[in-house]
Amino acid sequence: MDGTFASLAKGVAEDRYVLWLGSGISLGRMDGLKQVIGRVIEFLRTRIEADDPDCRFAKALNAALTLASLSHEERARVDLALPFDAWRDSVAISLRLVSNYARLLDIVVEGEADDYLLWEAVDVRSTFADPAKLPDVEHLCLAILMLEGAASDLISANWDGLIERAMEALAGRPSPLTVCARPDDLREPSPRARLIKIHGCATKAEQDESNYRAFLVARQSQIHGWIAHSQNAALVTRLLDLIATKPTLMLGLSAQDANIQALFADAAARLQWHWPGDRPSYVFSEDELGIDQQGLLQNVYRGDWTPATRRPIVEGSRVQAYAKPLLLALVLHVLCAKVEKLIDTATAHLEAADRLALKRGINALRDMAAASAQPDPLIFINALVDQCGRAMRLIRSGSLERAQGRYQPISIESISGMPGNPDLIASGLKEAAIAVGIIGAGVVQGAWMIKAPASLAPGEGTLQMATSAGNTKVFLAAGAQATLQLWQDGHISESEEPIIIQGHKLVPAMPRSPRGAPGRIGRLGAREVSIAGLLEVCGGFEELFQRFREELAI
């Protein structure tokens, strides 16, 4: 994200990209196509009436096996008395049907609705709307990006509700995410982000079958006729507009479905993105691009796709990282880019080199966090959510009470919208960002190390600073109100000699209880510093850093 794809990372932070999401982001939580195919075959097998030569389920199963192109030997080995997963060739059959899943689900069982296999055999409701299925790393990362204003438009080909659950877990209810699974949903307000589910939503279909079942797309006939179907006209118009006006980042999406290919080709015919540009217009989170993905690039770049440019376009359109690590990297980039933006707006009088030193400190902290993402990214992202949400609440208000959801963003707008936010001027967040930059610079210089607080309790501080003298709790507060709240609630103990870094100027000390015992000497007590005060008297980074250390006696 700092190198070849720096323009992609910057574009995401500015909310320039539409995120297109496929089944790859949910593989760790939801059944994949192989499991779905096995369920369909087994559903048909168990309903066959052996005494009925005209059994409708036997006919449907025969059609499914025909799709799998079984050899004579494989046909002879089919044993309907055994469960499908016990068949000798079950794996081979499933693999062949993966690329034919839409044709498989288009098989009609006599006397049943056209979507019978999806609704009953796949059992889309219990399989993909199961509330017991918890969000994974990808869904939590997407929720963070949405809450930070970096992903206002998302398109999903998935039926599951994991993104919605991640958003509710992080932001609370009512969720600031609008889910659109049918054209009428486009009329709903979108407080923070809009998720368009082009193949329908299992959760909505379970809750409101009469209005949403018809919008579940899985069958080949549906996919081929999706764009032309009058009921989808408004969705198609919205998608064409998004493709034409915002670059595309595809995560876990093979782009094999005909309706997706047609949408991109149609949008390119109306308003084409050219290669090369300021940033990649179409990006895939893949190690290698598949035939369908390369076909999409050929259709959208049109005249720019030549024998000479083919390889550079492919190389520039693939981030060789799957969705999980890429989204983790984008989350860390967006958070740090926002802190850097706050530094720029708060230190206009400092030279570019001085601001760069603060930003190096931010990047050092980012890289420290990234290094801890393994071996368990889910533990990491959950810790990041809780620590960031807790830190932002303490910085803003000095309290965790009445907190809604687990996460609180740095700002609700993207980086490009931050300068227009009037609340940032007096919020103290700009000065708090400088404090984080100084702390990171100290890590770079080896002046101290930092650690996460011992627990999520407010009294453990925003972080711990480790110096040669030992570990010290550090409280970071945007202004006097947050600082006073920390004192008033008893979260700061003078006897622990904590560090209190305040964004705004310090206010006269209030009486604190308990005080240290009379006559005790050699103890510093609470050490407080004002970033706003330091900025008034310091002319550059070196002086700022030195005065910071002197004020806190570290």
Residue 320 in 3-state DSSP?
Answer: coil
Note the pLDDT of residue 516.
Answer: 42
Judge contact between 356 and 545, C-beta under 8 A.
Answer: no
As given in the structure block, the two tokens for residue 237 are 């118009």
**Alpha carbon separation from 217 to 156, 366, 436 (Å, rounded):** 12, 41, 48
Q: Which residues pair with 285 in a beta bridge?
A: 319
Note the pLDDT of residue 420.
Answer: 87
Strands 248-251 and 18-21: what pairing? Answer: parallel
Residue 131 in 3-state DSSP?
Answer: coil
As given in the structure block, the two tokens for residue 364 are 């050092």
The three-point CA angle 434-437-443 to 5° equals: 150
The predicted model scores a pTM of 0.93
Q: Which of 341, 340, 320 is nearest to 329 (CA)?
A: 320
Judge contact between 181 and 188, C-beta under 8 A.
Answer: no
Q: Tell me how far apart the alpha carbons of residues 322 and 330 are, in angstroms, rounded to a whole number.
A: 12
Q: Which of 24, 104, 14, 16 is nearest to 326 (CA)?
A: 24
Note the pLDDT of residue 520.
Answer: 39
Mean pLDDT by 10 residues, the chain (554 residues): 93 97 92 92 96 95 95 94 96 93 95 96 93 96 98 96 97 94 94 95 96 95 91 94 96 90 92 91 94 92 93 94 96 97 83 94 95 95 95 93 88 92 86 95 94 92 90 93 92 92 78 43 75 90 94 88
Note the pLDDT of residue 279.
Answer: 92
Judge contact between 231 and 183, C-beta under 8 A.
Answer: yes
Is the bond preceding residue 276 a cis peptide, omega within 30 degrees?
yes
Strands 463-467 and 470-477: what pairing? Answer: antiparallel
